[in-house]
Amino acid sequence: MMPAPVGEQVTAHAVRIAAINPYISPRGLGMNAKKLHRALVVLFALFPVIGAGPTWAADDSIKIGVVGPRTGPAAATGKAFEEGFAVALDMVNAPGKGVLGKKLEVVFEDTAGDPEKAASGIEKLITRDKVALVVGESHSSAALAEIDVANRLKVPLIIAEAWHDDITAKGYKYVFRAGPSNSGVVNDSLMGFVKANGFKKVAIVAENTDWGLGIKKLAEEGLKAANIPFMTIVTERQSQDHYTELNKVKQFGPDLVLAFVYGFGLHYFIAQANETGLAPQTALVLDGAGPPSLWPDFWKNVGDAGNLELFVSSMNVDKPVTEVDKAFYEAYRKKFGQNPTDYKSRSLFNTVLLAADAINRAGSTDADKLVDALEKTNLTIASGVVKFDLTPGSYRYHQWQPPMLVVQWQDKKQVVVHPKDLATGELKKK
Amino acid sequence: MTDFLLYLTNGLVMGIIYALFALGVALIVGIMNVVNFAHGELYVLAGYFSALFASALGMHPALAMIMATLCVFVVGLIVERTLIRPTYGNEMYSLIVTFILSIVLQNGYLLIFGPYPRKPPNLVTGATNVFSLFMYGNQRLLGFALALVMIVCFFALIRYTWFGRVVRSVSIDRDMASLMGVNPQRVNLLAFGLGCALAGAAGVILTPIFPVTPTIGVGVSLTAFVVVVLGGMGSFAGCVVGGILLGVMENLGAAYISSAYKQLFGFIILISALFLRPAGLFGRKRA
């Protein structure tokens, strides 16, 4: 029997609710049911237009899953991920290539940065879509939920851009990270930048997420060890208004603000830091996440307040790190008609290359063989040559950290200011 | 003291804007007994319209704001006629329909406008040194003034015009108003459109400060519901007092307790107020 249309199903459900609900008049229901049914049909008719279904693989293909936020405050990352795997698939599936003689296909599951959605999303990918492995994610809270599922269901997961140390520190056999960790970013990049440029007083503003709180703690430890006075404020992740926090920061009088605020909230933070007379008037702001400073409309949203703003990035379009990097920029420009702006497109591109390489070397999609192959990875990707660390007992286990840059906006141009050997210009403080 | 004044000022500014979009919810609840879950999405729609009119069509930002609010008013009329009217008499149905509408609109925005924040150009830039005490964004000060003017106009409309008298009569006793010759369907239509336009007005005022994204309306709806329940369901004066109270308490809580749980303070105030006055600050107990 054919199922009833969605509109009828909802109406029927509403009728059932009405039948047991003493506050709904049966008379009113009878009078309006037909009209209501029509209204619901109109609404549901819109769903096929806006719904994005998964990509179904044919028999002659191998599927991998991608997890990441397509909705929510960091939905822009989902777009970057889409661009990243689109470029990677073009390369992997080029004529004469592929994986094990088959086409590589991707199924993208939206996690919205929400741990519950993330856990059910990766479980769907593994059990329903039967993916060989999963790559992606940029929210630590979501990734911390995903790693438990991946390890329980014994399917390899390569994290691209979720930085919390525990993601790899837990020592899970099926979990890898080909991207930055909080410790790596703070110890290898940020602290070096702070010390090298002689900042005297630092304020930390961190969002109340696993990533924000984790990186805040590491930054505090680093500043304490370096004997640099600092203050810390934790802010609500969804908050748009930061005047209260910025006023406290201003009173402290720092010359650098480390803003661990991800998503569109960073745009509000930068604009308001300028309105309250903090940055760049008396202090520089360093966006500790990176991509929000590169998203389209950044300049429209922050105005002149964006000048001299700093951000971390693993990508410099003007200085490709490897031949693969160069090929990525060329392929991206060819496909999208411009240079990539969000480095997370490149991060996702990298993880797809790693996945394809592991499947080819494993000679199968067997999970244990894939883990074995991943542990033996020696592959040049856009950000360098990947070799996963195999020493258990720390966040470095199953991780490879790409070199991170500190970039400054100077008259709307990106200038790499740290590390010195990769710098393209000098840091400007005023 | 300077800090306290800054937090108070910011709370007042945010509170007045909360009140403006909550008035739309209060109007629709008071007249139609409909809880519009898509209220926040209409706020977002106005933000997108104003950005589109100003950027793509090159309109002056002020004209773009007016046009966007009018467009949302018209959208409100269409939504009432096609989706809300069939649900009259069934509160549960209107809840379901507006909830689905909010999801459809969120996904539609994502599809059409993409995930990135959008805003029209600021009407004013820079900041003012308020009372020579602290710097405060000029766009925020303008937003405060505009929201205040909108609220005063709304109260004047309700208090002194024929439409206001009709709205009040329907709100007090729909059947009696109907017997006196008022057409309740037409009042519903206009009230819903006006409620949506208030969401739109708040949207165009706030979008230059907080650019809109497809899902930002969820927080707007939630804040509006908190304000309406706090003030007393359907009470316009309650909305203004509730909005200001919420804005001020959020800011003082963030400043003196913790900025990590800013949104929690709203719910603490709501629960406390309802514990002491279950019908809300300005609500009347139902017989």
At residue A160's C-alpha, the angle toward residues A391 and A364, to 5°, is: 75
Closest CB to B255 among A49, A244, A295: A244
CA-nearest of A328, A327, A317 to A294 is: A317
**CA closest to B83 among chain A residues:** A39
pLDDT in tens, A268-288: 899 999 999 999 989 999 999
CA–CA dist A288, A16 (Å, integer): 52
Is B117 within 8 Å of A264 when comparing Cβ atoms? yes
- With bands split at pLDDT 50, 70 and 90, how would you rate the model's confidence at A75? confident
In the stretch 7-26 of chain A, residues with CB closer than 8 A to chain B read 10, 14, 17-18, 21, 23-25
**Residue B282 maps to a domain:** no
**A41 at interface of B, judged by CB pairs closer than 8 A:** no
Bridge partners for A235 per DSSP: A207
Give me the half-sphere count of Cα atoms (radius 13 Å) on the Cβ side of residue B197: 19
**CA closest to B251 among chain A residues:** A244
**Residue B281 maps to a domain:** no
Which chain B positions have a beta carbon within 8 Å of A244's beta carbon?
7, 10, 251, 254-255, 259
How far does A232 lie from chain B, in Å, by closest CA? 11
**8 Å CB contact between B87 and A36:** yes
Question: Which string of DSSP letters, residue by residue, matches B215-281?
Answer: TTHHHHHHHHHHHHHHH-TT-HHHHHHHHHHHHHHHHHHHHHT-GGGHHHHHHHHHHHHHHH-TT-S
Which chain A positions have a beta carbon within 8 Å of B106's beta carbon?
71
**CA closest to B259 among chain A residues:** A235
Is B87 within 8 Å of A297 when comparing Cβ atoms? no
Domain that holds residue B39: 2-276
**Residue B83 maps to a domain:** yes
Q: What is the per-residue pLDDT for A192?
A: 95
pLDDT in tens, A368-385: 999 999 999 999 999 999
* CATH number, domain with residue B165: 1.10.3470
**8 Å CB contact between A231 and A254:** yes
Is B107 within 8 Å of A51 when comparing Cβ atoms? yes
**Residue B284 maps to a domain:** no
**Residue B231 maps to a domain:** yes
**8 Å CB contact between A245 and A233:** yes
Cis omega (within 30 of 0) on the bond before A320? no
Query: Matching CATH topology for A61-180+321-386 and A183-313+405-422?
Result: yes
**CA closest to B7 among chain A residues:** A244
List the pLDDT tens digit at each of the 287 positions of chain B. 788 999 999 999 999 999 999 999 999 988 888 889 999 999 999 999 999 999 889 999 999 999 999 999 999 999 999 999 988 878 888 889 999 999 999 999 989 998 888 899 999 988 999 888 888 999 999 999 999 999 999 999 999 999 899 988 888 888 888 888 889 889 999 999 999 999 999 999 999 999 999 989 999 999 999 999 998 887 899 999 999 999 999 999 999 998 888 878 888 888 888 888 888 888 765 54
Q: Domain A61-180+321-386 falls in which CATH fold?
A: Rossmann fold (3.40.50)
For chain A, domain boundaries: 6-50, 61-180+321-386, 183-313+405-422
CA–CA dist A245, B251 (Å, integer): 10
Closest CB to A244 among B10, B104, B108: B10
Closest CB to A28 among B90, B115, B209: B90
In the stretch 98-157 of chain A, residues with CB closer than 8 A to chain B read none
Q: What is the CATH number of domain A183-313+405-422?
A: 3.40.50.2300
**Residue B102 maps to a domain:** yes
**Residue B91 maps to a domain:** yes
Give me the half-sphere count of Cα atoms (radius 13 Å) on the Cβ side of residue A88: 29
Query: Best residue in A300, A307, A341 to probe B by mutation, most B CBs within 10 Å?
Result: A300
CA–CA dist B134, B168 (Å, integer): 42
Cis omega (within 30 of 0) on the bond before A5? no
Contacts of A224 (CB under 8 A, 6+ apart): A230
Tokens of residue A240, six digits: 């748009």
**Number of folded domains that form chain B:** 1
Closest CB to B127 among A51, A277, A295: A277
Which chain B positions have a beta carbon within 8 Å of A23's beta carbon?
91-92
Is A241 within 8 Å of B14 when comparing Cβ atoms? yes
Q: What is the ipTM of this complex?
A: 0.82
**Residue B286 maps to a domain:** no
